[in-house]
Structure 1
Amino acid sequence: MSSTGQPGTRAVRIGSLIVGEGPAVVFAGRPSPAPQADGRVDAPPDGCRVSLARLRPEDRHDAVAAARAVWDGPLLVEPGSADDLPAVAAHADGVIVSAGDAGDAGDAGDKALVRTAARLGLPLVVRRGPASVDEWLAAAAACLDAGAAGVVLCEDGVRAADGHLSVDLGLARAARERGGHPVLVSPGDDAGLAAAVVAAGADGLWLDEDAPAGHAEAAREAVVVVGALVREERPAGIPAARGAIDRADAALAVILERRAALAGVVQRLKPVGGFAGRDLERERRIVAAMARRAPRLGEARLAPIMKAVIESGLHLAEEARSASGENGREHSPEDRPAGTAGAQALAGGRQDHD
């Protein structure tokens, strides 16, 4: 994996979803239409999955059909035996297999199941389990040799004796770089780790089938906000480009909200806060530092942007102070720099200030 995106990865199509190209994706169990306590309905994941090994053999075909009936998006199915493959072929967009079953350590029956599943011509998601990187990649190669339409690796973690799910991001990164396959990673039992998974460069999040309500929403937020900062995208059309812009705007909104909150703290700590206490030299340094990270925009274009950001934060801080009764005095127009003078100051001009 790479924190800068997907170069070198062979993207895999699962139904209508492309894994390994564009934004990271979220796979979970079947979507639930049940609203949360506040009446909201969780945003659906990008793809869903069903594990048939958990069900009685006589219930498996109906379970796959039922999942497809309520979900028309990408559907992954993990067969429990070769008898499940007709239902998989009829309803699924991809097959889930275990690296241990596909590799040299698997018994003859498990290997035969994986080979037969690969011959369905669907993409395969290869779960690592306790396999090493070499065993994992060997299993992926065996699936491709058997006819799979593509392979996605899945670092689903290993559950310890105490019940804790341990996920190895470093190992997933190594497998992605060596094999060139997209990688899905489980955030474990803590939805808060979804951001770490996306920041590490995973191509998608693999949520537990029984994940509590809200985990898919947390994963989606990580994909949008964190992914916009660390994941490279090369949209080929207008809808994809607008989607990427929307994700960048969402991340920008979160950053602006946080900046405004921190600026409010500074205003409370300064001897003279608000517009009267502006430090224009610091504002110039802020613009210069930002220009080093955004050279195409440069200081001239960043200056009016940051002027608006800073003054919005100052207005917010003054409104909060007035509302809390700390200082109800309204600043006079003389306390506030004129728009033209303020823009000149941010662009490098001189202006006296307190």
Structure 2
Amino acid sequence: MDLHDPDQPVLITDLHDPDQPVMIAGPAVAPDVAVVSLRRLHGRVDAAGELARVRRSYRGPLLVEPFSARDLPAVVTHADGVVVGGAWMQDFQLLRAVARTGLPVVVQRATAATLEEWLSAAEYCVAEGNRDVVLCETGTRTHLPHATIDLELVREAGRRRPVFVDVSAAPDLAVAALSAGARGLFLGEDAEPALVAEVRAKAALLGPLVRDDEPETIPDARAAIDRIDAALATLLERRAELAATVQRLKPVGGFAGRDPRREREIVEAMARRAPRLGEDRLARIMAAVIEAGLEASEERDLRIQPLANRS
């Protein structure tokens, strides 16, 4: 897994669905990746025993934050990646030892660390021959009750190295983080399923729009197309829902209520955004989209009507 490649979905290709750049951490909610912090245990437990225990109950991707370099043999045996917590970001001996494991490394930013300090921590890993390094923004201490995500810092760091953003404390910033250049998101294990679904949907929609794909191989080009198709499917589903609302509000709905003038205006507006396709092609595409939406709306009404009659 090459995390350094700016065209690779960071910590996604191998750890979960590359079309959904969101990672749910912690074994509580069928996660994409489990994150275990040995640092929080302050060296009071045997690392090998603790990680073996985790592995007995969880066989998916596992990221581990070591308490010290002494934990690394156990981490190599059981884990898929190593987390260097923000508090340890400038422990350069630990960074070097972590890099030498050969496992992918996630370097969290200390709450007061500058951009250069953060990038320098990653370079210590690269200097040991490990290029699979990704940064993770967890926020800065402010007057707020939780850490504040620095989106400008995410944008600047993302120009040099792939960045994930932990939005566990502020999931409403998920879309903003992706817009700022984040290559993926962390949500905590206590995230509600509805929130997880919402963030996944927004990430799938926004990702292809803010990502500049320049594929050089057929598989890469097809992967980029798959991401765009996922976004298109999300948009088409939403369009069908809104079109069904319009049909219900019209005096005459369904196919009989089609408005040719409105449809021409839609095509003309789209042609200004997609001149390569042109009005003729877009007219055929939109006719198919509109008709599919009307058919779906009619099918929904037919399913609902018998239920309404029974009530």
How far residue 172 of structure 1 moved from its aligned partner, in angstroms, is 0.5
The residue number in structure 1 matching 2:183 is: 203
Q: Give 1:89's match in structure 2, choosing from 73, 76, 88.
A: 76
Contact 1:99 1:135 (C-alpha < 8 Å) held by counterparts: no
Q: Give 1:101's match in structure 2, choosing from 85, 88, 91.
A: 88
1:212 pairs with 2:195:
no
Contact 1:124 1:152 (C-alpha < 8 Å) held by counterparts: yes
How far residue 67 of structure 1 moved from its aligned partner, in angstroms, is 3.3
Distance 1:96 1:7 in 2: 16
Distance 1:315 1:124 in 2: 50
SS at match of 1:166: coil
After superposition, where does 1:192-271 map in structure 2 within 5 Å? Answer: 192-208=172-188, 210-214=189-193, 216-233=196-213, 234=215, 236=217, 238=219, 244-267=224-247
Q: Give 1:143's match in structure 2, choosing from 125, 128, 137.
A: 125
SS at match of 1:206: strand
Distance 2:288 2:176 in 1: 32
The residue number in structure 2 matching 1:293 is: 273
1:165 pairs with 2:147:
yes
Contact 2:20 2:200 (C-alpha < 8 Å) held by counterparts: no
- Cα 1:154–1:172 change in 2 (3 A) is same
The residue number in structure 1 matching 2:99 is: 118
Distance 2:238 2:24 in 1: 30
Q: State TM-score, norm by structure 2.
A: 0.77
SS at match of 1:202: coil
- Cα 1:158–1:303 change in 2 (3 A) is same
The residue number in structure 2 matching 1:67 is: 54
How far residue 11 of structure 1 moved from its aligned partner, in angstroms, is 5.0
C-alpha RMSD of the superposition:
3.8
Q: State TM-score, norm by structure 1.
A: 0.68
Give the total of aligned pairs: 298
Distance 2:75 2:10 in 1: 17
SS at match of 1:17: coil
> Percentage identity across aligned positions?
47
Distance 1:251 1:285 in 2: 23
Any unmatched runs of 5+ in structure 1? Answer: 1-5, 35-41, 104-109, 325-354
Distance 2:10 2:301 in 1: 53
Looking at CA atoms only, which structure, 1 or 2, has the larger radius of gyration? 1
Distance 1:50 1:282 in 2: 55
Q: Give 2:284's match in structure 1, choosing from 304, 324, 332.
A: 304
How far residue 79 of structure 1 moved from its aligned partner, in angstroms, is 0.7
SS at match of 2:201: helix
Any unmatched runs of 5+ in structure 2? Answer: 306-311
After superposition, where does 1:40-51 map in structure 2 within 5 Å? Answer: 42=30, 44-45=31-32, 47-51=33-37
Q: 1:75 is aligned with what amino acid?
A: L
Distance 1:224 1:117 in 2: 32
Distance 1:10 1:268 in 2: 44
